[in-house]
Every structure is written in structure tokens, then in C-alpha cells.
Copies of this chain bind each other. A is one copy, B any other.
Amino acid sequence: MQDFEKILENNNVKPTAMRLLVLQFLLNKKVATSLTDVENYFDKSDRTTLYRTLKTFVEKGISHKIDDGTGITKYALCEENCHCEIDNDLHLHFHCTNCNETICITDYKIPRITLPTGYIAENINLVVKGICDKCNKK
């Protein structure tokens, strides 16, 4: 409990009840989570509050935003070894078309990309779609 509060406070986010719950939820869920996912879990709370909570988390560097190509924004608290949070950093996400989950694959490193002259890369997003580990076993 104390830990969660520390995470928020360290990032200049006031630890309200809702924020603690959302943080806890994201920490438990290891996969990228959509606003709707969070909404369904906390069916008592308001969409907007959750939306703004997630937005705050992203702004304050607690969570990051993922475009997994499904058209639905995902959020994820990355683990220590995940380099998803900074600018030109590597982003490899796996989206399972069966269970619809988006997983952060931290092992794979994206090689440097040489763009045609004149192009400036600010951000790289690599999404692999297919069948994940769990679904494959079934």
C-alpha cells in the first residue's frame, strides 16, 4: 500500500483513492490496458475520472501510451527492463489477435532504421500481430 503511494508521490501525483486503485490495477495487469478495460473493472467509477487518471499517469511518467494498431489507445506501466518510456526508445509490442491483449516484449531490440534523406524520425513503433504464448498453448 505504502509503495503505491510512493510511486505516485515520487512523480508528483497526489495519491487519491482512485489513483491508487488504478495504479494497483495496472501493476497487476501485466499487459497493456485500454480505458475501457479499466472502466469495466471499476464499474462504479466514472469514465472521465479514469480517463484523466490515465492521462495524468502518462503526463507524469508513471505510465506510457501505446498505439498497438487496433485503433484503441493502450496504457501500460512498464517493468524495470522495459524501455518504452523515452523519446527515441525502442517500442516493441505484440498484439494477440486471439485474446486481444497487447504485450510489451522487452527482449527484442529494434535495429537502427535508415530513412530516406530528409526524413527525421522522432518515434518508432513496432507492433507484431499474431498469436501469443498463452493462446498458442490452448
Query: Which residues of A approach B to under 8 Å, CB–CB?
Result: 67, 69-73, 92, 94, 97, 105, 107-108, 111, 113-134, 136-137
Contact = CB atoms under 8 A, between A and B. Distances in A.
Chief secondary structure at chain A's binding surface: mixed
B127 A125 contact: yes
14 contacts: A69-B127, A92-B113, A97-B122, A108-B115, A111-B111, A113-B126, A116-B133, A119-B131, A121-B129, A122-B131, A123-B129, A123-B130, A125-B129, A127-B127
A133 B105 contact: no
Contacts of A126: 113, 124-127
A134 B120 CA distance: 11
